[in-house]
Chains A and B, each alone.
Chain A
Amino acid sequence: MLDDPAEQPLPVVTASRLAFSPGTLIAVGVWACLFATFIVLGLNS
């Protein structure tokens, strides 16, 4: 009887999940490119 408030599942209080927004993904992509360039330049020096 889910209509009965006593039998409703308790709300689970947890932190929000990480939302990988387009902005976050672009930032990670830019960082990966920067790091890859740094590694290539560094190992060829």
Chain B
Amino acid sequence: MLKYLAEYEHVWGPLRLFSSHTFRAVMATVTALLIGFIIGPWLIGRFRALKFGHGYIDERTGALGATYFDKKHTPTMGGLIIFIAVFLSSALWAAPNVWTVVALLVYTALTVPGFRDDYLKVVHKNKDGIKSWEKIAWQSLATIVALGILLWHPQSSAKIRELWVPFFKTAIISYMPWWLLLVLIYLWIVGFSNAINLTDGLDGLATGCTISVALVFGIMAYIAGNSIYSQYLLMSYVPGAGELTVVCGALIGACMAFLWFNSHPAEVFMGDTGSLALGGLIGVMAFMIHQPFTLVIVGGVFVMEALSVILQVGWFKWTKRRTGTGARLFLMAPIHHHFQKRGWPETKVVLRFWILSLGFALAGLATLKLR
């Protein structure tokens, strides 16, 4: 909201800086980083005092349980650190418009079920967390409210109906029916929400990969919101979407601060409070700047993790039906556990997945000029 200060440029010239997206994005990053560093130790201390660790070894890790022994008392719900940092920094530095409102609404709406899930797990010692239908209900509510606002608001009602895909110079569908839009946005929000949730299995893995994705989408949002650059790069021009650069900046800063505490050996886990909401935020932002399919490339690690689970379960069921014995494609899914089972140390898996994530980010950026 500090952007409004730019209106007083005639009073004091330097206030015009507040109209610059890049300046505010950098300031949002720094602010979120500082907020994260300030509230991080305090919240982690509170979580420890409240014994907000799982207190049990996740059965899904199977034989890897031994390596998880030290982690069972590490507090979770660290996603709250990211949420507070992103929210305060975005509210401070991003100009309120339909794009930023929808982004923060979806982020909030998905933080709630994530928080409830963690709360049930750590306080009530309920290993299953919230019921599947409740999670789906929250994700559906977030999607319907987001789409309702986007279709109702004059700034977004026509723009949101365009469907763009990488390598094409124009929109492949210029006016999507609302039901197709609903299905696609739902798939992206729910899909990436669950994909980041699955990726969040090793210290720093999901956070590090989120930083590279947010960096690329910050650049893309800046281009989408700029009439000159978007025209030059043959991308969709989305007036006002430049403000999402500031939200991405805040997300980068918050994740950097969180990574400080989440790096191996982690002092805190983000839990579902963080992972579900981060996926939803990234998914809806990709849609709003008309880059949903680019997210499949940029967020390649998340896609890979989700696919490994789908393939593992699918292959197991199929072979069991045909032969009576279920076979596995990977030693364990999600795929980061497969490499752990092959003997890679946790930090090696995480660093190599970060390298992959950077590669996917560069590949995503390369699509900008390949049209």
Chain A interface (Cβ < 8 Å from any Cβ of B):
13-18, 31, 34-35, 37-39, 41-43, 45
Contacts and interface: CB of A to CB of B under 8 A. Distances in A.
B247 to A, nearest CB: 12
A1 B153 CA distance: 69
25 contacts: A13-B55, A14-B123, A14-B125, A15-B50, A15-B53, A15-B122, A16-B49, A16-B51, A16-B123, A18-B50, A18-B119, A18-B123, A35-B87, A35-B108, A38-B91, A38-B100, A38-B104, A39-B96, A39-B105, A41-B96, A42-B97, A42-B98, A42-B101, A43-B149, A45-B98
Contacts of A37: 1
Interface in B94-151: 95-98, 100-101, 104-105, 108, 119, 122-125, 149
A45 B105 CA distance: 16
Interface of B: 1, 49-53, 55, 87, 91, 95-98, 100-101, 104-105, 108, 119, 122-125, 149, 153, 155, 240
Contacts of A15: 50-53, 55, 122-123, 125
B48 to A, nearest CB: 10
Given A31-B87, A35-B104, 12 more contacts: A14-B125, A15-B50, A15-B53, A15-B123, A16-B51, A16-B123, A18-B119, A18-B123, A35-B108, A41-B1, A45-B98, A45-B240
A15 B1 CA distance: 39
Contact of A38 (B50, B96, B125): B96
Q: Which of B49, B96, B124 has the most CB atoms of chain A within a 10 A radius of its CB?
A: B96
Contacts of B155: 45
B285 to A, nearest CB: 15
B51 A38 contact: no
A25 B346 CA distance: 39
B67 to A, nearest CB: 23
Contact of A43 (B55, B98, B123, B240): B98
B3 to A, nearest CB: 10
A43 B153 CA distance: 7
Nearest to B51: A15
Contacts of B95: 45
Contacts of B101: 38-39, 42-43
A4 to B, nearest CB: 28
Interchain residue pairs A-B with the least CB separation, the first 5: A42-B96, A42-B101, A41-B96, A15-B51, A16-B50
Given A15-B55, A35-B91, A45 B96 contact: yes
